[in-house]
């Protein structure tokens, strides 16, 4: 069944998409190592507090609310492929500084903070350009297939990455394990560089023909807030990210200091849960066809929070089994929700303003991530770790209200591309 799903679609014969896909697959795998290794180094090596871990997570995503709209303007003004290559190289250099500093005995929390800020800046420019580049690389009718294949790779990375990270952390140390991620970004840069399809010439201006940084930025914001679908999708995703990152800010502390688990076991838990991500990516098309687009978005956005509410049950025994099962459920909803909402955004937005639309969406939906991480660190230090997990999971669950209380829930399939006057 899995083999048949993976082999379906026209994009298997699209050489340039395959280059993008292969590069992103390697990069995603490497990034999963850092997801576990970076906070583990802070907690176990540098003895970071809950507040410091929350601050570290906040700094990783601070660039999205600060620079997201700026990145969107430049993603529509400049060709997107060179931006992506430069950002991959920048992240490789920043992450590569961590194992070097560790070898020299100079690693500090200050350096981790600086690396988090730098990689966040490169990520915001890469992600906005990447999501805007896909509709120019493949046909819009192939977007569901393209995003599904990319999500399958991400899910495979989430399955294999954390166990590998746990193993590497215990064998060579957390700082040295991050070198894997640095190398993966170099591989991604080479793969994107090898793409041969010419990218359309950017034509920076508004629909009225007005050019200028501020008018172009304003138009990107208006595209989102004038759409009856986009701003509600933004609200749902932003609320979910707020809650889930409050939770994740203290989750590894919960594993290491309350459950007394080792990094290898923590990696195994993430890996078990991530199998659900793969399952979700593989069944997205079937689920969406049967439930309809709106109901699929509602169900998938709600289930993750409900599963995370059960995390404290691990205190009563069998933590690997409990957290693995709950993680499977929570992770499986991610690709189902993201494939559908990202494809919807790409399909209803003209290419001319894709970068600014995606930047506005990312500014909103990822702008709550540093807030969630920071709040999680504060609440973990004051109210307690378990209480913070429950509060975060409750907020994540309530995000579904944005979908249910609006026109999104009534969508059976993607609407037609809006007329220029509507955007």
Q: Tell me the per-residue pLDDT of 271-312, one tens digit each, with 9 for 90 and over.
A: 787 788 778 878 888 898 899 999 999 999 999 999 999 999
Q: How many CB atoms lie within 10 A of CB 269?
A: 25
Q: With pLDDT > 90 as the criterion, what percentage of the chain qualifies?
A: 34
Kindly report which listed range (157-166, 239-248, 281-290, 369-378) carries the lowest average pLDDT score. 157-166
Q: Which of 222-226, 263-267, 297-301 has the highest mean pLDDT?
A: 297-301
Q: What tens digit of pLDDT does each residue of 137-178 get?
A: 877 677 777 777 887 777 677 677 777 777 787 777 778 888
Mean pLDDT over 102-115 rounds to 91
pLDDT of amino acid 164? 76
Distance CA 277, CA 8 (A): 19
Rounded to whole angstroms, how far apart are CA atoms 159 and 418?
38
Average pLDDT over residues 82-97: 93
1 — pLDDT class (breaks 50, 70, 90): very low
The mean pLDDT of the chain is: 84
Token reading at 42: 């802070």
**The pTM of the whole model exceeds 0.95:** no
Which single residue is written with the structure tokens 């559908």?
Answer: 340
Query: How do the residues of the chain divide into helix, strand and coil, expressed in percent and rounded to 5?
Result: 85, 0, 15
- Give tens-digit pLDDT for 354-365: 778 877 888 898
Q: What is the predicted pLDDT for the residue at 420?
A: 42
Distances (CA, A) of 15 to 3, 24, 197: 20, 14, 9
Segment 235-260 mean pLDDT = 93
Q: For residue 16, what are the CA distances in angstroms to 19, 273, 332, 381?
A: 5, 32, 28, 48
What's the rounded mean pLDDT across residues 308-323? 94
Contact, 84 vs 396, CB < 8 A?
no
Report how far residue 155's alpha carbon sits from residue 168's, in angstroms, rounded to the nearest whole number. 20
Asked if pLDDT for residue 204 goes beyond 70, the answer is no
Closest by CA to 185, choosing from 272, 119, 282, 136, is 119
* Of 9-18, 49-58, 131-140, 272-281, the least confident: 131-140
Per-residue pLDDT, averaged over 29-40, amounts to: 82
Cα dihedral 34, 39, 45, 50 in deg (nearest 10): 180
Reported confidence tier of residue 421, pLDDT bands at 50, 70, 90: very low
How far out from the chain centre does Cα 86 lie? 19
Determine the pLDDT at residue 202.
65
A 10 A CB-CB count for 3 gives 7
pLDDT tens sequence across 396-411: 999 999 999 989 898 8
How do the domains of the chain map onto residue ranges?
Answer: 15-198+217-422
Q: Dump pLDDT digits (tens) for 176-189.
A: 888 888 999 999 99
Say which CATH class 15-198+217-422 falls into. mainly alpha
Whether the CB-CB separation of 402 and 232 falls below 8 Å is answered with yes
């Amino acid at each position: 069944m899995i083999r048949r799903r993976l082999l379906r679609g026209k994009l298997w014969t699209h050489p340039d998409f395959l280059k993008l896909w292969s590069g992103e697959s390697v990069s995603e795998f490497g990034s999963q190592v850092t997801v576990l290794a970076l906070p583990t180094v802070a907690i176990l090596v540098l003895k970071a507090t809950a507040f410091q871990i929350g601050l570290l997570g906040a700094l990783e995503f601070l660039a999205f609310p600060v620079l997201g709209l700026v990145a969107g303007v430049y993603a529509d003004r400049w060709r997107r492929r060179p931006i992506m290559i430069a950002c991959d190289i920048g992240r490789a250099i920043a992450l590569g500084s961590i194992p070097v500093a560790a070898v020299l005995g100079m690693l500090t929390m200050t350096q981790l903070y600086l690396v988090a800020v730098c990689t966040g800046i490169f990520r915001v420019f890469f992600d906005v350009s990447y999501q805007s580049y896909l509709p120019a690389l493949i046909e819009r009718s192939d977007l569901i297939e393209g995003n599904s294949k990319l999500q399958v790779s991400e899910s495979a990375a989430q399955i294999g990455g954390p166990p590998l990270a746990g193993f590497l952390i215990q064998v060579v140390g957390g700082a040295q394990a991050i070198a894997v991620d640095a190398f993966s970004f170099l591989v991604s840069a080479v793969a994107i560089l090898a793409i041969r399809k010419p990218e359309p010439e950017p034509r920076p201006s508004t629909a009225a023909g007005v050019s200028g940084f501020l008018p172009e930025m304003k138009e990107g914001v208006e595209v989102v807030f004038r759409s009856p679908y986009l701003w509600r999708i933004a609200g749902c995703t932003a609320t979910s990210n707020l809650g889930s990152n409050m939770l994740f800010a203290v989750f590894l502390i919960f594993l290491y200091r309350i459950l007394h688990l080792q990094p290898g076991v923590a990696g195994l838990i993430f890996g078990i849960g991530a199998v659900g991500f793969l399952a979700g990516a593989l069944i997205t098309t079937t689920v969406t066809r049967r439930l309809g687009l709106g109901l699929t978005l509602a169900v998938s956005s709600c289930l993750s929070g409900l599963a995370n509410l059960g995390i404290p049950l691990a205190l009563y025994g069998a933590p690997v089994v409990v957290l693995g099962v709950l993680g499977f459920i929570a992770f499986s909803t991610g690709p189902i929700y993201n494939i559908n909402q990202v494809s919807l955004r790409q399909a209803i937005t003209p290419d001319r303003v894709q970068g600014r639309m995606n930047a506005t969406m990312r500014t909103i939906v990822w702008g709550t991530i540093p807030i969630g991480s920071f709040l999680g660190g504060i609440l973990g230090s004051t109210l307690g770790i378990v209480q913070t997990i429950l509060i975060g999971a409750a907020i994540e669950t309530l995000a579904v209200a944005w979908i249910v209380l609006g026109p999104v829930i009534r969508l059976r399939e993607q609407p037609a591309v809006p007329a220029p006057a509507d955007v």
